[in-house]
Amino acid sequence: MSSFPSWPFHKLWGGSGNNNNNSNDDSPPTVTIPASEYEALKTELASTKSAYHEKTLENQQLTLDKQSLESQYTSEIHRLQEEIDAVWTNLQHVHEQRDLLKQQLRTKASERADQIARMHLQVAEQTHKLNSLSYQPHPIHDDEVSQTMKKLNQGIERWVATNFRRKDLLDSMANETLELATGQVWIIDETRNMHERWCLVRAVVAAYLYHHVFNRLVALDRCGQETQDDLGVMGRAIFNECPPHVYHHWVMATSLAGEHAFPNNDRLISETAIEGIESSLGRYASSEVEPRLTTLQALVFDCVKFKQRLDRQDCHYGFFRNSMGDGYCESYMQDLTGMERPGARVMCCLWPGVWKGTATELLIAEKQVVWVQDDGCVEDEEMSREEVLEDANCQGEYGDFLDEI
């Protein structure tokens, strides 16, 4: 077994190498190092201390960074936990709202189903009532239509001649303005003779009857304006989109239902028309009010009944009239004198005409009676259906149905 080499410690301690056991000097031996080696060791020691100091500072900075990161981590974890708690709370609230909405929707769906069931039941009941109503159209032929219109016109003519006999009252119409139910303004010329003034009176009566009786579904006159407007929209849609017989059946059914829903509506319509006529013409009449209105009421009521009867026919009927200034056309007009008047202009319509047919076929069942005057040259020609509807201002029960064709 080898031993460590022996070192000449005596040289390091400056001894001679002799072991003097009797020596009493216990101080360490003095080591002698060269100055250059000493400076090198000193420099190395200073460098080591500096490196140690830098490492110490670096470790301190790392410790601070670690503490900062740990603090940030803790704060972030706390923030995220709070956000998670808030999201969870909101999610629970959303679930509660969803459950509440589901319950409300189920309740509304149940109520809606009950409402629809009740409506179906009501429709079935009303349909049964409508089908159970007695339907007797009382067929009418074109000849009877023509005769009835002539008879009604003659009745109005006699009523005017009987109740407007004083020339001085009729003379007061000079320079006055009469606004008809159409909104048309008449300027009364003082040069008009008695017969011509009677024509003006007849025109006023015819205008009121046309707009209050002949040109509407009289059975629904007592409905509110909103209901009448809605029915008008439905009527136009049916007339334009459906076959002709569908619209006509709808008119008949609506008229029949209205008559049963408003049994006294014909009287109300008669009173409305009479009030308008009396308001416009009463001050020019020469007769007593009561007998004059009694006779007029009977005539107007006959017009209402005739219109109701036409609404119940298998073929659709409508009324038309022309306005002042329109050209005379013998195809659907007849002059007051019964003579043909080519090249004349309409002064006023004394009695409306009647047409029958559908959206594709149109016949004139009775010409309108007009008062005309010669004015330039207007060719008399056979008018097409479209021209009749346009020039005659022919309208359906709810407005300008036929003008849209």
267-320 pLDDT tens trace: 777 888 899 899 889 999 999 999 999 999 999 999 998 998 888 787 788 899
Residue 262 confidence (pLDDT): 64
The low-confidence residues of the chain, meaning pLDDT below 50, are 1-23, 134, 181-182, 376-405
Buried b (16+ CB within 10 A) or exposed e, 81-114: eeeeeeeeeeeeeeeeeeeeeeeeeeeeeeeeee
Establish if 9 belongs to a structural domain. Answer: no
Last residue of a domain, one of 50, 79, 106: 106
Do 150 and 85 share a domain, yes or no?
A: no
Residue 224 confidence (pLDDT): 63
Residue 360 confidence (pLDDT): 66
Establish if 68 belongs to a structural domain. Answer: yes
Task: Please state the pTM of the whole predicted model.
Answer: 0.58
CA–CA separation, 120 vs 114, rounded Å? 10
Taking alpha carbons only, the member of 229, 305, 319 closest to residue 270 is 305
CA–CA separation, 45 vs 36, rounded Å? 14
Both tokens assigned to 246 = 């569908």
Establish if 228 belongs to a structural domain. Answer: yes
CA–CA separation, 47 vs 69, rounded Å? 33
Do 62 and 180 share a domain, yes or no?
A: no
Do 182 and 100 share a domain, yes or no?
A: no
Residue 5 confidence (pLDDT): 45
Residue 14 confidence (pLDDT): 47
Establish if 285 belongs to a structural domain. Answer: yes
Do 89 and 156 share a domain, yes or no?
A: no
Last residue of a domain, one of 57, 88, 106: 106
Establish if 237 belongs to a structural domain. Answer: yes
Both tokens assigned to 251 = 């008119």
- Could you write out the three-class secondary structure of 173-222? CCCCEEECCCCCEEECCCCCCHHHHHHHHHHHHHHHHHHHHHCCCHHHCC
Do 291 and 393 share a domain, yes or no?
A: yes
Do 94 and 158 share a domain, yes or no?
A: no
Residue 266 confidence (pLDDT): 67
CA–CA separation, 319 vs 355, rounded Å? 6
CA–CA separation, 213 vs 85, rounded Å? 76
Residue 379 confidence (pLDDT): 42
Do 212 and 85 share a domain, yes or no?
A: no
CA–CA separation, 154 vs 150, rounded Å? 6
SS3 of 399, please? strand
Report the number of distinct structural domains present in the chain.
2
Establish if 131 belongs to a structural domain. Answer: no
Last residue of a domain, one of 59, 87, 106: 106
Establish if 128 belongs to a structural domain. Answer: no
CA–CA separation, 48 vs 54, rounded Å? 10
Residue 294 confidence (pLDDT): 94
Residue 161 confidence (pLDDT): 93
Do 271 and 355 share a domain, yes or no?
A: yes
Range of the domain at 59: 36-106
Do 362 and 217 share a domain, yes or no?
A: yes
Do 220 and 315 share a domain, yes or no?
A: yes
Do 384 and 297 share a domain, yes or no?
A: yes
Residue 186 confidence (pLDDT): 65
Establish if 125 belongs to a structural domain. Answer: no
Sign of the torsion angle spanned by Cα atoms 326, 327, 328, 333:
negative
